[in-house]
């Protein structure tokens, strides 16, 4: 299904195109030439949003696994363990939390007599993490073959939670580096803006003539290349 662009990110892209057109060219024509790049900006920001939501859900799923195992050890059935996990997660994160929405889908499926193994597998697909896929697979095998479900899932969930905690630490370190990079990304704009406001006419020689436009385009190209390189360096998949 074709994705619908997010209007907020499109508006950000248009605003960014306007800022670049004014700072680098002082030209309305440059704005119209740069405006289509707002689609690229929207795609980038939407991808970042999905990654943040995925990371948030991953952290909450770690707590959900602990709640499910605790309920199983208390003698609850697997179905009731997930229902109790929903109550625990609503209390801890609020009803609008991503993990609560996922657990609501599982509980609705149980109310419609759908197999729990399939519902957990669907949750793993939506979460998009290898850890949840592993949990869903082991859960299905343990339910099929019998045995001490609580003990099996306790060992599995413990290992998965340890890996998730390590991934969260890596994400936190990367978040700090990305914040530093964002500040560095803004520095060239702020320098041009500062000089333009404090020394009017300083950049006039660069505007309204082909040589100046060519020079500013070269500067913009170098800046964009640096942005792409920095993003690739920080694009560490965890």
Q: How far is residue 111 from each of residues 40, 114, 129, 212, measured CA to CA in Å?
A: 43, 8, 26, 68
> Is the pLDDT confidence value at 104 over 90?
yes
Q: What's residue 106's pLDDT?
A: 92
Res. 170: pLDDT tops 90: no
Task: List, for residues 7-20, the tens digit of each pLDDT value.
Answer: 898 898 899 899 88
Residues 6+ apart with CB under 8 A from 139: 78, 117, 120, 153, 156
**pLDDT, position 109:** 92
What is the arithmetic mean of pLDDT over 215-226?
Answer: 89
DSSP characters over 148-206? -HHHHHHHHHHHHHHHHHHHHHHHHHHHHHHHHHHHHHHHHHHHHHHHHHHSTTTTGGG
pTM over 0.85: no
Q: Are 42 and 15 in contact (CB under 8 A)?
A: no
For the cut 60, the answer to whether the pLDDT of residue 238 exceeds it is no
Rounded to the nearest integer, the mean pLDDT of the chain is 85
């Amino acid at each position: 299904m074709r994705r619908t662009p997010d209007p907020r990110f499109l508006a950000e892209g248009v605003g960014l195109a306007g800022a670049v057109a004014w700072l680098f060219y002082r030209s309305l024509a440059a704005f119209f030439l740069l405006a289509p790049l707002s689609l690229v900006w929207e795609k980038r920001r939407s991808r970042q949003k999905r990654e943040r939501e995925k990371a948030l859900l991953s952290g909450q799923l770690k707590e959900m696994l602990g709640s499910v195992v605790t309920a199983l050890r208390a003698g609850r059935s697997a179905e009731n363990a997930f229902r109790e996990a929903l109550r625990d997660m609503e209390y801890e994160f609020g009803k609008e939390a991503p993990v609560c929405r996922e657990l609501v889908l599982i509980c609705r499926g149980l109310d419609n007599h759908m197999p729990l193994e399939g519902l957990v597998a669907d949750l793993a697909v939506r979460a998009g993490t290898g850890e949840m896929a592993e949990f869903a697979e082991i859960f299905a095998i343990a339910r099929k073959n019998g045995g001490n479900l609580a003990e099996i899932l306790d060992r599995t969930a413990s290992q998965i939670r340890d890996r998730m905690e390590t991934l969260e630490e890596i994400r936190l370190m990367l978040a700090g580096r990305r914040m530093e990079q964002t500040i560095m990304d803004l520095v060239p704009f702020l320098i041009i803006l500062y000089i333009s406001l404090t020394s009017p006419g300083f950049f006039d020689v660069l505007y309204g003539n082909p040589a100046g436009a060519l020079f500013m385009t070269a500067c913009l190209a170098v800046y964009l290349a640096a942005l792409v390189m920095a993003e690739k360096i920080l694009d560490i998949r965890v």
